[in-house]
Amino acid sequence: MNRILLIPSIALLLLFIIGYALSGGHIATPANSADRPIVFANADEVKTLDVGKMSWANDIRTAMGLWEGLVAYHPETLEILPGVAEKWEITPDGKTYTFHLRSSARWSNGDPVGARNFLFAWKRVLTPSTGADYINLFYPIAGAEAYSAALGGPHPETADFSTVGIHSPDDHTLIVQLAQPCTYFLDLCAFPPYYPLHEAAMQPFLLDRADPSKGYDARWTRPPHLITNGAFFLKDWQFKRELVLQPSPFYWDRAHVKATSLIVKAYEDPRTALLAYQEGRVDAMSFVPQQFGEELLAQQNSHKRNDIHFRPVFGTYYYILNCTRPPLTDKRVRKALALAIDKEQIVTHILRMGQKTVTQLVPPDSIPGYASPAGLSMDVEEARRLLADAGYPDGKGFPTLDLLYNNESIHLQVAQAIGQMWKNNLHIEISYHGLERGSFGTDRRTANFTIARGGWYGDYTDPTTWLDLFKTGDGNNDGRFSSPAYDALLEKAAAEPNPQKRFALLHDAERLLVEDEFPAIPLYQYSDGYIFDPDKVDNLNLNVRLLTQFKWLCRK
């Protein structure tokens, strides 16, 4: 045999063996045991397991299996259940919460969970250099926002944590003082940024022992270093492959954790995920792929299969109008644009997965006790009249409107459909401006757009998770909408301890947005779902916020 082929072949073969061995490959397929773990597939890898910093659905779902907050969600109704705190008291003014921590709460290494763990974690989130996406979820706590602002300001030495309304008289009691009565505060306490952290386990990973604000080496979030206090602990994490969760032997409610082990995988190609599911290598998928959605739902509706679980969720798709750019400074123009869209066309012809159109920003019927305003439905005559009133009869003299969207998913099609409706109904010109994710985000944040695609998933079960987006000066108020009347309504609601009266005020505030001011045009409520066989996997409940509680999951 000649050398030209042999030398490279041997070199390649050697490289293959080395690479395959280093990559953790096996020669034979690992045997299938009876106690097979439940395999849960996400569309993307977990971005971070630092609970203080997370904000993505996959991360939050995983964190809820690994950690436990002062309180927890009911897997189906999202009602508040005791967690680390076995009981709590709320003062009649709704401003002081006293949590009594159970003495049986344990970290996955056996250490007791105490109030100090919460103090440490919460203080860390409030420190701007931590980089917490959800820092504003702590602002209901008295003094929290001011403390954080002082730390991030020119004189960080003036920041004093004792001014923040978080105190613990002993390690089993945590007292939280709120700035205003916050009816959804317990809901926040069940959410990952509020989870405790095991400071001692993180200490060895401090980048600079003298200055903790420099942060931690990321390895603290990986096994075996990661210590958690929830139903599961992280046994293994192989980047872009899988996370292995196993029941924590020290968890106080171990008796209710039935799964022997849980594997969380990432499949970036939805086709591949679906094939793996059909081969039985995946038990549940946390998404229904858009390109097969219509077909899968049709099979589900004709009872050919029973494993597609799809429902309207706690999110709205809308268009943001930049209220500082003429002619959108005129609310008649904004309203005209809103009234000239046939939303039904968009959901039936573009999305085609049974999404519901909405005339409100807060998804209707998703918050117990909150009555949504009616909103306005399509009315082309009225739209034309409003546009004429604003000085543009039959669209004459109206400048070309720029429509900004990100080049992913179906955003382009939706933009083109809406642009065409505006053109046909109002006789105005639209230009389309598609950008990749990063630039789209920058333009949105800096209000460098006329009309932009928007979408929001609620973070806690309360209308303010949407309504705050339109508060003057809010960091997420991309359209720079500002209305003193609206701000006043929100402020009044924030000070109102009576939940019914508060919801009535918030109802009025939302009505102002969706019937009069139109800083954004609500289009449809997101729908989302899971794929799993209910005869095989039990307790995988689809609540409106898709906050699956891994704790209760088991095989049938």
Partner 1 sequence: MLRFLFWRLVQSLAVLWIVYTVTFVLLMAAPGDPFIGDKKPPEAVRHALAKRYGLEYLEFSPEQRALLTSGQRAAYIVEAYALYLGNALHFDLGPTISYENWSVRDVIVTSLPVSVALGTLSLLLALWGGVIAGTLGAIFKGRAPDLALTVLTLLGVSLPTFVTGTFLLMFFAVVIPILPSSGWGTLAQLILPAITLALFFLAYVARLTRVSVLDVLSADFIRTARAKGLAPYQVIGHHVLSNAGLPILSFLGPAAATVLTGSFVVEKLFAIPGLGQHFVNGCLNNDIPLVLGAVLVYTALIVFFNLLVDIAYAFVDPRVSL
List alpha helices for 343-460, DSSP H.
343-345, 380-389, 411-426, 437-445
For residue 425, the minimal CB distance to partner 1 (Å) is 32
Question: How many residues are given for the chain?
Answer: 556
- Determine if 204 is a binding residue for partner 1 (CB under 8 A): no
The β-bridge relationship of strands 38-42 and 173-177 is unpaired
Closest among 168, 227, 183 to 201, alpha carbons compared: 227
Residue 212 DSSP one-character state: G
- Determine if 263 is a binding residue for partner 1 (CB under 8 A): no
For residue 554, the minimal CB distance to partner 1 (Å) is 24
Q: Which of 158, 203, 272, 409 lies at the binding interface for partner 1 (CB under 8 A)?
A: 272
Q: Which of 211, 389, 394, 436 lies at the binding interface for partner 1 (CB under 8 A)?
A: 436
Choice between 333 and 361, CB closer to partner 1: 361
Choice between 24 and 92, CB closer to partner 1: 24
Which region, judged by CB under 8 A, interacts with partner 1, from 360-368, 388-396, 438-446, 533-541? Answer: 438-446
For residue 263, the minimal CB distance to partner 1 (Å) is 12
- Determine if 210 is a binding residue for partner 1 (CB under 8 A): no
Cα torsion angle, 79, 82, 85, 91, sign: positive
Choice between 212 and 499, CB closer to partner 1: 212
Taking each helix axis from N to C end, the angle separating 290-301 and 270-278, rounded to the nearest 10 degrees, works out to: 40
Measure the N-to-C terminal CA separation of the chain; round to a whole number of Å. Answer: 59
SS (H, E, C) 476-541: CCCCCCCCHHHHHHHHHHHHCCCHHHHHHHHHHHHHHHHHHHCCEEEEEEEEEEEEECCCCEECCC
Choice between 282 and 512, CB closer to partner 1: 282
Which of positions 45-104 make contact with partner 1 (CB under 8 A)? Answer: 45, 47-50, 53, 55-56
Closest among 293, 382, 70 to 196, alpha carbons compared: 70
Number of residues that bind partner 1 (CB under 8 A): 80
For residue 151, the minimal CB distance to partner 1 (Å) is 8
Residue 142, amino acid: A
Binding mask 506-525 for partner 1 (x = CB under 8 A): --------------------
Which of positions 238-257 make contact with partner 1 (CB under 8 A)? Answer: 238-241
Which region, judged by CB under 8 A, interacts with partner 1, from 283-291, 381-389, 445-453, 532-540? Answer: 445-453
- Determine if 314 is a binding residue for partner 1 (CB under 8 A): no
- Determine if 153 is a binding residue for partner 1 (CB under 8 A): yes
- Determine if 445 is a binding residue for partner 1 (CB under 8 A): yes
SS (H, E, C) 379-401: CHHHHHHHHHHCCCHHHCCCCCE
Binding mask 212-241 for partner 1 (x = CB under 8 A): ---x--xx-xx---------------xxxx
Q: Name the β-bridge partners of 40.
A: 264, 284
- Determine if 304 is a binding residue for partner 1 (CB under 8 A): no
Which of positions 468-507 make contact with partner 1 (CB under 8 A)? Answer: 475-476
Q: Name the β-bridge partners of 356.
A: 525
Residue 204: CB atoms within 10 A of its CB come to 12
Choice between 179 and 388, CB closer to partner 1: 179
Per-residue burial over 16-50, b = 16 or more CB atoms within 10 Å of its CB, e = otherwise: eeeeeeeeeeeeeeeeeeeeebbbbbbbebbebbb
Which region, judged by CB under 8 A, interacts with partner 1, from 74-82, 262-270, 325-333, 336-344? Answer: 262-270
Which of positions 103-132 make contact with partner 1 (CB under 8 A)? Answer: 128-132
